[in-house]
Amino acid sequence: MAGWRIFAAAALVVCLLAHGAVAQAPEGDFADTECVKCHLEKSPAVVEQWKAGDHGKPDRMVTCFDCHGGTHEIAAPTARTNGACIRCHENEGAAVHSYRTSKHGVIALLEQATWDWTQPLMEGNYRAPTCAYCHLHSGDHDVGGILSRRGAAARARVEEVCSDCHSPRFISTYMATGERMYQIGLMKGREAEALVERFRKADQDERTLADMNETYEKMKYYHLKNLRMGIAHQSPDYQWWHGHPALDGDLIRIKSLYQGSLK
Amino acid sequence: MRSLASLLLALLFLYTSVAMAGGAGKGIGLYGGEWSPDPMSEYWDPKSFYTPRADLVEGIYRGEECVDCHEGITPGIVKGWRASRHAAAAKPVLCDACHGADHQKIIFPTTETCAGCHEKQHGEFMDEKRYGFPSHALAMERAVDAKHFVDKPKAETASCMQCHSVATKCDSCHTRHLFSAAEARRPEACVTCHSGPPHPDDETYYSSAHGKLYLAEGSKWDWSKPLAKGNYPAPTCAYCHMRGKHQVAEKAIWKFGLREVNPNTSENMVKKAKWMAVCRDCHDEKTSAKAFSTLAKERKRAWTKLYEMEDLLKDLRSGKVITPAPGQRPAYPADFVDSIWPIIRIGFHEGQASAFYNVSLIERLYFEMWYFDNLGAYKGAAHGADELANLQHQKMERSMKRIRAEAARLRRPGKREPGDLWLRGEYTDFNRENN
């Protein structure tokens, strides 16, 4: 019985080879478990990267189907488009809008209809990067993971991705300035934090302290994030109007709250 | 008496030269001696800051050789170039035409580089300077001569230079290395800079009737057509602002909404006639005149509100109740007079545009009303987004409420001294020492 099965399988392979169909993807709608089961054999690295990345975490799992859709033939091109990412990330505001108004985002938006999306996300196959071009460069499925972390590995990856189009000198200069620009933002944050602490230690009234804290949180979670996104996505508007001058305003508000409750 | 005057003059001169020498210098513009450029400046204003550095590659190359090599090194830019008219021309415009042939002395193209071939466009662009602010051609001067630009750390103001580089490079609108006219005709080409609180051109245009039509069908229009009557079913930014000429300044009337403008001066009537000619590509004269008067009325409404608040602030200033008072906060940025005789700046004509940090809450609140709410209202009215204009006016009213409440608080007896709150702090100290 087993021998027959092996024969049938071998015959199938021979037929498929003869018709040039082996390289082609299987048709049909698949359940998520099926994708993973098959790709654990076909491309185990991709599955491992996905598991290690933010999308593979059990508490907020984004499945193959979510980005790639159900049609196997166009699974890769589908996930390469910005639409695949923006569908879920739209509500995050700064992350999407900073990219959309950047030159990268504008070029992608205007030219996407004419691009060949069957090309892999590497070696300047696209005139401007899409979300996936940077965050899943060369098909690395550790989505956003490495680019969102800080440190040498992340830096090396950014340099590699940017150098598909930009010179090493431009990349290192831009990154160094971006880092300093962000550090200045953090200074504003720390100046505010020190004031909140000073106020707390002086045992000033609770309501003002709560108001000061609220403004400080706004700095940390919104305006500093805007700045970071502006730098990472090359959006001058997020670096500046949604970033630095907004932080300046927060700092004034915190100082004014402090002063107002002085006896 | 005369000797006292000359002594004072000599002291003033001495102080100025010391103050000038205080910064490391090598910046550009009116205060170039007081600030040092951030390294990124060479990319945003190559003419002023770029210096070729000897790099790894030596030799003189023909354009074809550049393409061959860069196809492997930076394939993305070669892809852009291959799709360009530069590549498709009978005699292709190759890399060396703009960047030079010597790899050790690579040239960073400026507007003048492009002018070598595109003389007409460059001439019209430079002609903007005749009309003063606002214009693209004057944008870099406008940035570096702003006092807050001089005063703030240069890694922070590196964000300013990106948009203001529209004066120094052509790829702000025609991105490299495709350099497409069609791209610059589409509104998206403008929104990288024309978005955000002081100039929500994107939101206001997209929510106008013109913008809605563009969003619905723009992707199907033939963008290779020039910006001329009958070529587009609805206007884009460039259609109205640049139709007929490669510049945005000759019709500019309202000064961005930053100060009150009399639209009926003879100069502005000429500009208005030019606007109406653009509108008449699609609309009758009555309709375009009505749009114009709606905008004029909106501006009146906005300035009534703004002046009311300016008067309130000036009243507080004369009453000396604004705290932190001058002296209790860092001096007005990069201002010599302010360092010896500090004053509070209220409104456009006193330079409040540079006083949005290290100031009292009430000044900041007015800045936000003037710079964000009011400018947004202007953009809404100018772009035919009436709902957004009204929304911005509601924001102005909310700001007025906040300003009045803060004024009442400042007037309350029992003055609360700010102590060192505005004078010390990690950023405040860093800002003072780094420009």
Let me know whether A244 and A140 are in one domain: no
Contacts 24+ apart (CB under 8 A), A203-212: A204/A258, A204/A261, A205/A261, A208/A257, A208/A258, A208/A260, A208/A261, A211/A257, A212/A254, A212/A257, A212/A258
A112 and A189, same structural domain?
no
Instruction: Report the alpha-carbon distance of residue B52 to residue B104 in Å, rounded.
Output: 7
Contact B299, B381 (CB under 8 A): yes
A83 domain-assigned? yes
Closest CB to A190: pick one of B39, B419, B426: B426
B155 within 8 A of B38, measured Cβ to Cβ? yes
pLDDT of residue A153: 82
Nearest CA-CA partner of B82 in B189, B188, B176, B184: B176
Query: Pick from A139, A162, A185: which residue ends a domain?
Result: A162
A217 vs A211: CA distance, rounded Å: 10
For the stretch B74-126, pLDDT in tens is 999 999 999 999 999 999 999 999 999 999 999 999 999 999 999 999 999 99
pLDDT tens profile A35-50: 888 999 999 999 999 9
Do A33 and A157 share a structural domain?
yes
- How far is it, in rounded angstroms, from Cα B279 to Cα B284? 8
Residue A18 lies in a domain: no
A167 within domain boundaries = no
Does some domain include residue A171?
A: no
Task: Judge whether A51 lies within some domain.
Answer: yes
**Residue A42 domain flag:** yes
The size of chain B, in residues, is 435
Q: Do residues A247 and A192 both lie within one domain?
A: yes
> If you write DSSP's letter for every residue of B394-412 in order, what string do you get?
HHHHHHHHHHHHHHHHHHS
Last residue of a domain, one of A162, A191, A214: A162
- CA gap B159, B140 in Å, rounded: 12
Name which of B166, B426, B428, B435 to mutate to probe chain A: the one with the most chain A Cβ atoms within 10 A of its Cβ: B426
- Residue A14 covered by a domain: no
Q: Which residues pair with B60 in a beta bridge?
A: B102
State mean pLDDT over A189-201: 97
Assign A20 a pLDDT band (cuts: 50, 70, 90). Answer: very low
User: Within chain B, which residues score under 70 in pLDDT?
Assistant: 1-23
Q: Is there a contact between A241 and B196 if contact means CB atoms under 8 Å apart?
A: yes
Number of domains in chain A: 2
Tell me if B178 sits within 8 A of A127, measured CB to CB.
Answer: yes
Q: Which amino acid makes up residue B397? A: E
Q: Would you say the pTM of this structure is higher than 0.95?
A: no
Is the Cβ pair B357, A113 closer than 8 Å?
A: no
Is residue A109 domain-shared with residue A224, that is, in the same domain?
Answer: no
What is the signed CA dihedral for A24, A28, A33, A35, rounded to 10 degrees? 20
Of B40, B159, B360, Cβ closest to residue A240? B159
> Same domain for A216 and A156?
no
In our burial notation (b when 16+ CB lie closer than 10 A, e otherwise), range A176-212 reads ebbebbbebbbbbbebbbebbeebeeeebeeeebebb
Q: Which of A131, A162, A193 marks a domain boundary?
A: A162
Residue A126 sits in the same domain as residue A208:
no
Distances, alpha carbon A34 to alpha carbons A12, A40, A70, A252, in Å: 21, 10, 12, 56
Is the same domain home to A87 and A131?
Answer: yes
Residue % of chain A over a pLDDT of 90:
66
Distance CA B383, CA B295 (A): 9
Q: Which residues neighbour B333 within 8 Å (Cβ) at sequence distance 6 or greater? A: B147, B148, B150, B151, B152, B354, B355
Which residues form the domain of A71? 24-162
**Stated length of chain A:** 263
Q: Which residue has the higher pLDDT, A150 or B78?
A: B78
pLDDT tens readout for residues A43-85: 999 999 998 888 888 888 899 999 998 888 899 999 999 999 9
To probe the interface with B, which of A190, A240, A250 has the most B CB atoms within 10 Å?
A240
Looking at the fold, whether A141 and A217 belong to one and the same domain comes out as: no
pLDDT the model gives residue A142: 83
Provide the token pair at B286.
Answer: 């009555």
Nearest to B126 by CA among B118, B117, B136: B136
**DSSP assignment letter at B222:** -
Q: Could you tell me if residue A137 is inside a domain?
A: yes
Same domain for A158 and A181, yes or no, is no
pLDDT value, residue A32: 72
Which residues of A fall within a CB distance of 8 Å from B55?
169
Nearest to B421 among A101, A249, A255 (CB): A255
pLDDT at A144: 63
Two structure tokens written together for A255: 């100082």
A135 and A216 share one domain? no
Whether residue A81 is found in the same domain as residue A189:
no
